[in-house]
Amino acid sequence: MAPQEATPRADSVVPIAAPGSGLGDRTALFLLTRSPLGALVQWVARVPASIHAKLLCAFLLVVLLFFTMGAMSLDTISRMSRHSRLLDEAHKRVDSSRQVEHALAMQMNFTAMALLLKDETTIGKILRENNRFNSTLAQIDQAAPSEERDLIQRIRAAQDEALTSVADIANLLRDGKPDEAMKLQLASGYPLYERIEGLVGNLVKTEEHRMESLRESVTRADRRAMVLVGAFVGTSILLALALGFVISWSLILPVREAGGFLSAVSKGEFGATISVPNRDEFGALADHMNRMSVALHQLDEDQRQAARQLRALNEQLERASRAKSEFLASMSHELRTPMNAILGFTELLLDGTYGDVPEPLKQPLADIQTNGWHLLRLINDVLDLSKIEAGRMELSLVEYLVPDVVGTVQASLRSLAMEKGLEFRIQVPDDIPPAFGDAKRLTQCLLNLAGNAIKFTPSGRVVIQVERQGDQLLYRVSDTGIGIPKDQIENVFAEFRQADTTIAREFGGTGLGLSLTKKFVELHGGRIWVESEVGRGSTFVFSIALRVEEAAPA
Amino acid sequence: MSAKTILHIEDNEFNRKIVRDLLARTSYRLIEAADGESGVATAKRERPDLILADIQLPRMSGLDATRALRADPETAHIPIIVITSFALSGDDQKAREAGASHYLAKPYSPRELLEAVRRLAPEA
């Protein structure tokens, strides 16, 4: 039933969630259609989880990335501080090895001084320097790699030899043999010191070299760590952005779809459907919308169907109404033609056209005439009512004077009232300006009301009063007659109804007069009502505009 | 001065007889037609002093007949009384628009008809 529409593209969608054509939107559109992000958006939309869960997952992912980033940074920092500690140690070792070198130089210096001064006490200074040399060397030895230990071992062995030589020199000096001491020094002391100096120089160079290579490797490692952290941060930012893009567009697209769908529906495309890949709240929403669309479409169809039926029915009624008025026209003519003959011949007879009427025939002829006129009134009433009901009754609006209308009614009914011995009064103020309406029909209304009043009033009076209230005219016909029971007041204006069917037998009449009067008053755009009390009399009042509008409501 | 001629166009025999009997005691000369077409033809031939035309007639309605007579300069001046049935309101207006001099609603009183005839075409 609902026409299946192609899924509208994002840019075909109109208002509400207005995508506009900004740069941001064009970029988003490009990414959605030309990059794998589009497929990812579709995939996320299809994940059967609530929006809440999806958003939570996305945020957790981003938080996780930040945690990882933090951990990586901390690791890098701790590694760098370890490197700097290693460098410090290497520095210290270089310093120590230089101190060893210095202590050695001092030993040689003091040995030379002792020989020169031939002073035994200077030997003590040599020993002190020797102690410093040994303790510093021990420090280096403690944290030295194995290949260095060999070198240190050799330095220590050479130093021991040097000490032995120093001791011998000291003994010779004490024994007062400076020449021999000098000889010993030149023979074994110097070469020994030179050897130790060479070894210590090696040690210094080795330590310096180690420090240098350590520094290089640390610098390399630090640079690598920085690059790694930077790359990770960059990737994380891109990942977070992509995640945000995917999540937000997996929500924006269905909202736009819904916007387009709703605007289509608001334009009257009730069969429109919405298609979103989402299996979350938006998916449920789209399902509801589609169901609503189907229901609306059905409703629309039903309504169109009903409208078509109504139109057809209306045409039928129109045709029936036309047929009815044609029937009325011909019926009116057909009924009046024989009535014309009956009443015409009766009048001719009574007027003596065919010679003098024998006395006994006069009354029956008069009766024929009276009943003929009565029949004619009935025919007129029935035809008028039919015309009103066929919607063919039109008022012929003219200027009229209220006293003229009331005067006509008084003239027509005066003799009838007199026959019954009723008081028949007219009260029309002098200051009523010329009125506008269907004078003939208003006369007919007043004749009906006053005629009824006279008919249903055994004794007392009948009064016709006219009152002007602003731009309204109030016609009031009151009597002191039998009145209308409360439970029957509603029926008095109904067709073919008299308050009591026994009344019809007693008073005659068709019961069409009041119904017609009500309809004529309503054709004038006015209203009619009655106040009555059984045994006290009735008052019929109708109000119409002083000057009725040309197009009075039918 | 010769008697005035009155043309009565009416398809119902009884109604024709009423007018015939009504005018029997007057000096008017009466000629009759039973439908609109022959009524117009008779009017053109006889040139009556007054025409009584029913509104609903076979072949041509009283209104069309009135229009035809008004359109012909030879008959345009003849007074016409249109007898309406008051089927739908506005018959009187239609009669006036077609060119009727006067109209009477059916059923009419023969007395009133005679008064109207005498007013529009006084007896010689």
pLDDT in tens, A319-368: 887 787 778 777 877 888 888 999 999 999 998 888 888 999 999 999 99
Q: Do B93 and A353 touch (CB under 8 A)?
A: no
Chain A residues whose CB is inside 8 A of the B89 CB are: 387, 393-396
Q: What is the pTM of this model?
A: 0.51
CB within 8 Å: B25 and A347: no
Q: pLDDT-based confidence at A18, cuts 50/70/90?
A: very low
Predicted confidence at residue A508, as pLDDT, reads: 52
| B residues 29..48 contacting A (CB < 8 A) | none
- Using the Cβ of B90 and the Cβ atoms of chain A, whether some distance falls under 8 Å is answered with yes
If asked whether residues A356 and A455 sit together in one domain, one would say: no
Could you give the CA distance from residue A442 to residue A448 in angstroms, rounded to a whole number? Answer: 10
pLDDT at B88 over 50: yes
Q: Coil, helix or strand for A267?
A: coil
* pLDDT band, very low/low/confident/very high, at A303 (cuts 50, 70, 90): very high
Does residue A506 carry a pLDDT above 80? no
Q: Are residues A359 and A375 in the same domain?
A: yes
Under 8 Å between Cβ of A401 and A430: no
Give the per-residue pLDDT at A19. 52
Q: Are residues A376 and A413 in the same domain?
A: no
Pairwise CB contact (< 8 Å): A343 & B109? yes
Inspect the interface and report whether the beta carbons of A345 and B106 lie closer than 8 Å: no
- The CATH number that domain B5-120 falls under is 3.40.50.2300
**Average of per-residue pLDDT across B58-82:** 90
**How much is the pLDDT for B124?**
73
Residue A551: which pLDDT band, with cuts at 50, 70 and 90? Answer: low
Range of the domain at A426: 394-545
Number of Cβ pairs < 8 A linking chain A and chain B: 78
One domain for residues A403 and A333: no
Confidence check: pLDDT of A491 > 90: no
* Residue environment code for A315-346, b if the CB has 16+ CB neighbours within 10 A, otherwise e: eeeeeeeeebbeebbebbbebbbebbbbbbbb
Same-domain status, A406 and A388: no
Q: Does B115 touch chain A (CB under 8 A)?
A: no
Give the least confident one: A128-132, A277-281, A485-489, A501-505.
A501-505
- Nearest Cα of chain B lies from the Cα of A371 at a distance, in angstroms, of 14
Q: Which of A203, A219, A235 is the last residue of a domain?
A: A235
CATH of the domain at A320: 1.10.287
Residues A437 and A404 in one domain: yes
Same domain for A398 and A466: yes
Q: Tell whether the model's pLDDT for residue B58 goes beyond 90.
A: no
Within an 8 Å CB–CB cutoff, is residue B13 touching chain A? no
Is position A195 within any domain?
yes
Residues A127, A162: one domain?
A: yes
- Rounded Cα distance between A220 and A391, Å, is 107
A193, A218, A235 - which closes a domain: A235
A437, A330: one domain: no
Question: Kindly report the CA angle at B67 between B64 and B69, in degrees rounded to 5?
Answer: 110
Chain B residue numbers with beta carbons less than 8 Å from the beta carbon of A344 are 15, 18, 107-110
- Specify the CATH number for the domain of residue A454: 3.30.565.10
With an 8 Å Cβ cutoff, is B58 touching chain A? no
Identify whether residues A81 and A228 lie together within a single domain: yes
pLDDT at A553: 45
pLDDT surpasses 50 at A401: yes
Name which of B86, B90, B111 is nearest A332 (Cβ-Cβ). Answer: B86
Q: In A97-256, which ranges are E strands? A: none
Q: What is the mean pLDDT of residues A66-86?
A: 89
Q: What's the CATH code of the domain at A173? A: 1.20.120.1730
Best probe of the A interface among B89, B96, B103, by most A CBs < 10 A, is B89
Q: Are strands A472-479 and A537-545 parallel, antiparallel or unpaired?
A: antiparallel
Q: Using a pLDDT cut of 90, give the percent of chain A over it.
A: 20
Does the distance separating the beta carbons of A338 and B14 come in below 8 Å? yes
Element (H, E) at A531: strand A527-533
| Over residues A203-213, mean pLDDT | 88
- Mean pLDDT lowest among A170-174, A260-264, A289-293: A170-174
Number of domains making up chain A: 3
Domain-terminating residue out of A206, A235, A264: A235
Percent of chain A with pLDDT over 70: 92
For B85, which of A332, A342, A392 is closest by C-beta distance?
A332
- Mapping DSSP to helix (H, G, I), strand (E, B) and coil, where does residue A540 land? strand
Same domain, A82 and A225: yes
| A104 and A231 fall within a common domain | yes
User: What does the domain layout of chain B look like in residue ranges?
Assistant: 5-120
In a domain, A268, yes or no: no
- Residue-level pLDDT at A423: 92
| More reliable by pLDDT, A173 or A75 | A75
Most B CBs within 10 A among A325, A340, A381, A523, hence the mutation to make, goes to: A340
Query: What's the pLDDT band for B16 if we cut at 50, 70, 90?
Result: very high
